Amino acid sequence: MNWSAQMIAADKDFNGAPLFRKQVSVSRDHGAATEATLKVSALGVVEPWINGERVSEDLLTPGWSSYEWRLRYATYDVLHLIEPTTVIGLALGNGWYRGRLGWSGESAIYGSELATIAQLDLTFADGTTQTIITDDTWTAGPSATTANDLYDGQTIDAHLYSDAWLQPEFPGDGWSGVHRLDFERDMLTPYTSPPVRRWQSLKPQSITTSPSGKTLVDFGQNLVGWIRVQVKGPAGTTVTIRHAEVLEHGELGVRPLRTALATDSYLLSGNDDIFEPTFTFHGFRYAEITGWPGELDAESLLAVAISSDLRATGTFHTSNSLLNKFHDNVIWGMRGNFVDVPTDCPQRDERLGWTGDIAAFAPTAAFLYDVEAFLAEWLKNLAAEQSHHDGIIAYVIPDVLKYIGVPAVISPVESTAVWSDAGVWVPWALYQAYGNPEILAAQFDSMSAHVRHVESLLSPTGLWDTGFQFGDWLDPDAPPENPAKAKADTGVVATACAYRSASLVAQAASILGKDAERKEFTALAGRLRAAFNEHYVDQGRVLSDCTTVYALAIVFGLLDRADQDAAGNRLAQLVEQAQYRISTGFAGTPFITDALTITGHLEDAYKLLLEEGCPSWLYPVTMGATTVWERWDSMLPDGTINLGQMTSFNHYALGAVADWLHRVVGGISALAPGYAELLIAPQPGGGLTDVETSLETRHGRVAVHWFISGDNLKVQTDIPEGVGAILRLPGQSDQPLKPGRTTTTVLTHAFA
């Protein structure tokens, strides 16, 4: 669009939460207004108002992008709000732009001054237009928010609240002028991803007193958002709410928050006050409340969960209640960490867009929700960062580590397996889920630049065995203080991942008609595969002989048939020796059940899936988890918190096994990108007797319901019109499925 508006900042800081105001007269000489469009953005976060009404339910606009090169703006139809005298109000907070980011304690990483830009375009009945812009005629003043930070929380003083600033003829006492900032409007880009909004609310499940006498509120679910408070008490009373995910020894478990205060404070006016801190968010299930006037009533509190506004597409339910709860936990963990950016965790002093997490989880995310636009937006930031970093895909996107540095356990940022591979694996997962080659076209330069950079890092042997690697991060056998010290050889992991990325880029080149690049990356993949087998494989044994290296080698297709069979047998043996408890970290976990399935060890995969001892997928469920944890043992069996300094109770990455649940247990797979053709192939096992799975594809709804009744396996399928589908059941030949509902029955002894 054509911007004439200016980026403006307040002449005073106003506690990092300034209000901006402009009163205008709407033309009356050209008939009624027929169109009214407001475009708005900020260096910070902004909430727009017109004539006393909130313009939208969107939160934390314009979100978090790579602000050095990209700043999104939101567009709203505001015709219903326009009056002859119109007051435009913009409320700002620190957000990601000026708030704390990362563990260094630093704030204002991108800039020290909050600012906003807005443009209201009006069209009248006769075609005449009127434009109102932010410029130096606006005024700015204080809000009721006296402190705000995404990590630390928000403080609101009800004495200071008034909506007079949104009304005509506001006197503006205590207000100041504004000034223009030097800002490149070419950086402005429209929102293409969903905004952040409220998506659920939960009432307290219990209110108790801790051993130390503190009031604790349990909302029954680990969520991301805040608590909406209704309270009346003596003027000047301060109510303080501190948030955490778990309890330890009956008290609020705040150690995993590290330096994040996660505390909201409210100063009461003496009247009926309602507080909702929309310039922060917390990861929490529990809240510690101090200063409450009188007896705390559960009706006074409401936990508000926020997330990017994603449309649910996939469902999964079984006869196993623990497995169902685990799947629910995967969903809650995803929603809480998909707040504009796919982050690792939502609670501590981190909350960064770690690339390794989404590299592992993208296929699961794309089944559960329509994340095409959400992740495409994140990939734009990835490409922008990469293009300014010599082809290197950073550990986090947007990349704040280039400003705050990295922990001592991690080397300076260089391409690293799985994490940097997100630049290839995520767009490929989106293409497979939605069938739109435009994502490959948009990201191809980024995908190819990553693989070419990795090629430059290969040693003379053709292996990626030099430099820092996260490797099989958070291997459960690694010491808590050194999560990179995994069993899997880092060169094996990295070379396997390099092969997968080169192969995928070659396929993307073929789809896009880029023949030269197809040949280039096909040849590179061949060289990587040959080097892997020459240096790492000996008669089916893979160097470092642990579950992760076998899982990657099998699923990525690095082995010939004889070696793959031997590797599968060895993998099954290792899984059994571990008593079906998890022995993989970030690299191996998304692939181990597939590796077992591919090589004929389905029951071992089910035993691994359904194990309840620590470490396992279901162990946290038995401990009362309501989201997926960062560590397999974030909480120890005795109820104490893992001693590692990096312990989150809301990390989606290890929930990536849900992709296998949907395809192998549930039975829905794509034979063509976007599910244009379907493979319905449930593989019963693990004692499950009833499984229902469904998916809203771009072509319509697919559903599979299988259940065992006596000696019969019955499979009911729903196939959309115009979509070809194959039914593949154990011990049976493939058969085509017609659109609509079909029920097929086979004897269970055929696959026992």
Distances (CA, A) of 374 to 190, 191, 315, 369, 704: 13, 10, 20, 10, 27
Angle at 109 between CA 108 and CA 112, to 5 degrees: 35
Q: Classify residue 315 by burial, with Cβ atoms within 10 Å: 0-12, 13-18, 19+.
A: middle
Which residues are CB-contacts of 593 (< 8 A; sequence separation ≥ 6)?
605, 608, 609, 657, 660, 664
**Distance from C-alpha of 46 to C-alpha of 308, rounded to nearest angstrom:** 16
576 is catalytic: no
Integer Cα distance of 599 and 555 in angstroms: 10
Question: What is d(CA 128, CA 28) in angstroms, rounded to the nearest whole number?
Answer: 11
Phi (first) and psi of residue 456, to 5 degrees? -70, -15
Cα–Cα dist 521/452, whole Å: 9
Give yes or no for a contact between 608 and 575, defined as CB atoms under 8 angstroms apart.
Answer: yes
Tokens found for residue 436: 């739109």
Task: List the one residue out of 199, 251, 254, 258 whose CA is nearest residue 224.
Answer: 199
Exactly one of 47, 245, 350, 377 is catalytic; name it. 350
Sequential DSSP letters for 4-61: ----EEESS-GGG--EEEEEEEPP-SS-SEEEEEEEEEEESEEEEEETTEES-S-BSB
Q: How far apart are CA 277 and CA 258, in angstroms?
A: 21
Instruction: Specify the residue for token string 């403006």.
Output: 8
Q: Cα separation of 49 and 21, whole Å?
A: 9
* 520 a catalytic residue: no
Question: What's the CA gap between 155 and 163, in Å, rounded?
Answer: 18
Question: What does DSSP assign to residue 600?
Answer: T
Q: Judge whether 71 and 44 are in contact, CB under 8 Å.
A: no
Are 662 and 236 in contact by the 8 Å Cβ rule? The answer is: no
Reduced to 3 states (helix: H, G, I; strand: E, B; else coil), residue 694 is: strand
Measured CA to CA in angstroms, residue 629 lies from 549, 638, 752 at distances of 23, 16, 34
Cα dist from 119 to 39, 78, 163, whole Å: 5, 12, 22
Residue 540 main-chain phi, psi, to 5 deg: 85, -10
| Amino acid identity, position 478 | A
Q: d(Cα 384, Cα 162) in Å, to the nearest integer?
A: 42
Pair type for strands 71-77 and 247-248: unpaired
Cβ atoms within 10 A of the Cβ of 272, count? 10
CA angle at 500 for the pair 495 and 502, rounded to the nearest 5°: 90
Identify the DSSP state of 641: B
- Give the C-alpha separation, 347 to 326, whole Å: 20
d(CA 279, CA 714): 51
600: its two tokens: 């004929």
Beta bridge partners of 733: none
Q: Which residues pair with 528 in a beta bridge?
A: none
Catalytic residue set: 350, 630
